Structure 1
Amino acid sequence: MNVVVIGGGVVGVTTAYYLAQAGMDVTVLEAQEQYGDFGATAGNAGFLSPSDAFAWASPSALKVAIKSLLNPELGVQYKFHMDPALWAWTASFLSQCRRSKWLQNSDSKFKLAQYSIDMLTELRETTNIDFDVSDQGIIYASRSTSELQKLSEHFNFLGERGLELELLDRDALHQKMPLLQSDSNIYAGAVFSPNCKTGDSSKFTRELAQWCIKNSRCKFIWGAAVESIVRENNKISSIVTSKGEFKADAYVLAAGAHSSILAQSLGIKLPIYPIKGFSITAPLINPDIPQMPGFDDTDKLVALSVLGDRLRIVSSAVFDGFDTTHRQQDFQAILRLAKEILPDVADYSDVKYWAGLRPMTPRSLPILGASPIQNLYLNVGHGNLGWTLSCGTGKIIADIIAKKTPKLSMDLFQFKL
């Protein structure tokens, strides 16, 4: 069976891997010219974190949004302009903020995240690829005792579902994270998720693509921007790109935030909106420092991780369409917080700036499986957890195309008209 995957980011490449492992001939089409150094794959926090499986649409979402509007440094920014897609998405998002919906969506997202990490573990054993992975867990820190109590209660939801968690007081936090300024009293304590990981998703994508080329019937066409999708009798017959025309038995759409644009050309309206995030990456002053846990300042909405010889700092959720432009002033708050949290770890005079788009659905759940077009399958809408969910969703898509029953219930992930 021949399959074309549209999209060469972390989701597209993991999908290609699992399709090839199932014995299929796979062609990956990617508009960019290089491996994994683009889109949300390139600049995310690097967290592999079922601990972040909470749906964004929650009873407290409106409060967080209003608080951020009053203080833009808290990371959530809503650009008010006449974008019908944004208003429609927002209305759908608000409909998911009831507690019953939040519990249902978060539960499904957590199960998918756990499954995905299991698949990643197997993939690592099979391929032995290097992507600067750290198995030191992730710390979720709070700056006040009252907020720490709320944070602990919040995480009970995942603890009840089997996620191992530890509550750290200030001293235990500094023991777990010695790179924090030793005399700092910024944090009251933290919730620690020991089984979560961090890793460089861009490096992972490059290495996995190379492994697929060498070890399976898989090829990658870079610089292949989709120009048109030819449809006949409710089936796709070919994909026309800047690098030529490609035909297959089945097609998988895995193009991140731009999936909604490609789907719309086929008359499919995906409930996905691009949410911009910012990150900076700075070289470590001492590349030989011991591995550290991922670190999330839950009050300031900023995440930090060491990826090889670099420190990555990520923040912001900006609702502003497909705009990925950025100015140096967009990163001032992130840079200031990085210097406050880890002042002596990285060279903050030599930073790389990045802005990219998270393809978010109102429910915070990806859309997986069959589409209204007979031979087109969807692997889209991973939101803030594309890196975490990529292996699980790739395996699910491969199972569906191979006519196997996926390990997880697909009820909440299927596309609905």
Structure 2
Amino acid sequence: MRIAVIGGGVIGLTTAYALVCRGHQVELIEKRDQIALETSFANGGQLSYRYVSPLADAGVPLQALGWMLRGNGAPLRFRPKISTRQWRWCLRFLLACRRSTNQRNARHLLRLALHSQEILRRWREEDALGDFAWRANGKLVIYRDQTSFDKAAAGLDASAGQLVLDAQQCTDIEPALQPLAGKLRGGIYSPGDEVADCHLFCRRLLQRLEQSPNFRLRCGQAVSGLHSDHGRVRSLMLGKEQLEVDHLVIAAGAASGALLQPLGIELPVYPLKGYSLTLPLSSHAGIPETNVTDYDNKVVYARLGDQLRVAAMVDIGGWDANVDRGRISMLQRLASDTFPAAGDYRSATQWAGLRPATPEGTPLLGATALGNLWLNVGHGSLGFTLACGSADILCDLIGDQRPAVALDGLTLAS
């Protein structure tokens, strides 16, 4: 079958790879001149398979009001716009800020995440993708606030293989945290979680795809329109060229909604802006070997080869992916206070990107009202974590096979 995939980030590339592996002819369409230059370029790098709690949770709206007083240091910052799309998204987010809703959606995400881990393992071991800074190094979420820690420990899903640690056990697992020992209240440790360089992973996938005669990459070509009739997509327009398709997968991140609006399909996906620093390492002294998430500051740390990736913050307020100097300065200070021996964070490479998120925090996979139009969108901050499993599920659905995991809570109709 001729299948077009729109979007050359980690979601689109994994989808294309899974489809080509099953014998389909795939055209991957990316509007930028190269693949993986947007959300997949410098994300947090953590493959957080077991710590998948959505942002929407009980208490978050009240916390957000307090965060607003912290200015550039706020983990979440809301900038209201004259936009019905933004306000509809925010209303659904508020409705999802219930403990029961959070726990239900976390179970949906955990199911998909564990499947994604298995698919990546298969690709690494059986397909020999090459190096992309992958390591099975575990994830440690540290808590400085006792109330936050008690809430996390009480809600722990023991079946996910997570462990509750006291402050001493946290520093035993990650010695680089020793300078913070007096400030820690405890941690949640997921020994089975992993780390990798998302952009490098995308490049490895592309190298393998380009070896197949069933694959074609179209970079620097924006989709200008989709043509449908009798309940199916027939073709898409790339400038003046009309490309006919048997199936079409939308994996264009935050831009997916604009593509589908002319077809009468509304996606509850909105961009959440995040920031990162990439610090070259001269040595590994004082560098965390475990993935570390500073829960109360909402900052993640991951060593990617000879670099330290630091990522944080959520800005709800539009489509501008430019770096905010105030936010970056605060991130530099937070990182320097946490792991001061890593180096001079002022010299780190700065980045900002738009994470395509649904209000509930769960992605949208599978069918639409059009029989051959498929979704793989809305993964938020878990795009890298969920990408391989989502791609595998899409292949099952397109091939009219039963997906490996239940899709409850993961579809547009959910």
TM bracket (short chain) = over 0.9
- In structure 2, the residue matched to 1:63 is 62
The residue type equivalent to 2:236 in the other structure is I
In the TM superposition, what is the alpha-carbon distance from 1:288 to its structure 2 partner?
Answer: 8.7
- In structure 1, the residue matched to 2:41 is 42
- In structure 1, the residue matched to 2:152 is 151
**What are the equivalent positions in structure 2 for 1:121-136 lying under 5 Å apart?**
121-129=121-129, 130-136=131-137
- Given the alignment, which residue of 177, 180, 184 partners 1:187? 184
CA RMSD of aligned residues (A): 2.0
Report the more deviating stretch, 367-376 or 195-204: 367-376
**CA displacement 1:335-368 (0-9 Å, x = unmatched):** 0011111111134232111111111112211111
TM-score, structure 1 as length reference: 0.94
CA distance in 1, matches of 2:375, 2:313: 27
Q: Is the 8 A contact 1:141 1:297 kept in 2?
A: yes
In the TM superposition, what is the alpha-carbon distance from 1:106 to its structure 2 partner?
Answer: 1.5
User: Does 1:328 pair with 2:325?
Assistant: yes
TM-score, structure 2 as length reference: 0.94
- In structure 2, the residue matched to 1:52 is 51
**What are the equivalent positions in structure 2 for 1:135-284 lying under 5 Å apart?**
135-154=136-155, 156=156, 158-159=157-158, 162-182=159-179, 185-215=182-212, 217-242=214-239, 244-284=241-281
- When residues 43 and 230 of structure 1 are mapped into structure 2, their CA distance, relative to the original with a 3 A threshold, is same
- In structure 2, the residue matched to 1:380 is 377
CA distance in 2, matches of 1:386, 1:171: 32
User: Does 1:403 pair with 2:393?
Assistant: no
**CA displacement 1:345-403 (0-9 Å, x = unmatched):** 13423211111111111221111111112211111111111111101110010000011
User: Does 1:370 pair with 2:367?
Assistant: yes
- In structure 1, the residue matched to 2:85 is 85
Number of residue equivalences: 412
User: Does 1:119 pair with 2:116?
Assistant: no
CA distance in 2, matches of 1:288, 1:140: 21
CA distance in 2, matches of 1:55, 1:232: 37
Identical-pair percentage: 32
- In structure 1, the residue matched to 2:338 is 341
Structure 2 unaligned regions, length at least 5: none
CA distance in 1, matches of 2:263, 2:247: 15
Structure 1 unaligned regions, length at least 5: none
CA distance in 1, matches of 2:366, 2:180: 51
CA distance in 2, matches of 1:141, 1:111: 24
**What are the equivalent positions in structure 2 for 1:13-32 lying under 5 Å apart?**
13-32=13-32
Q: Secondary structure at the residue paired with 2:40?
A: helix
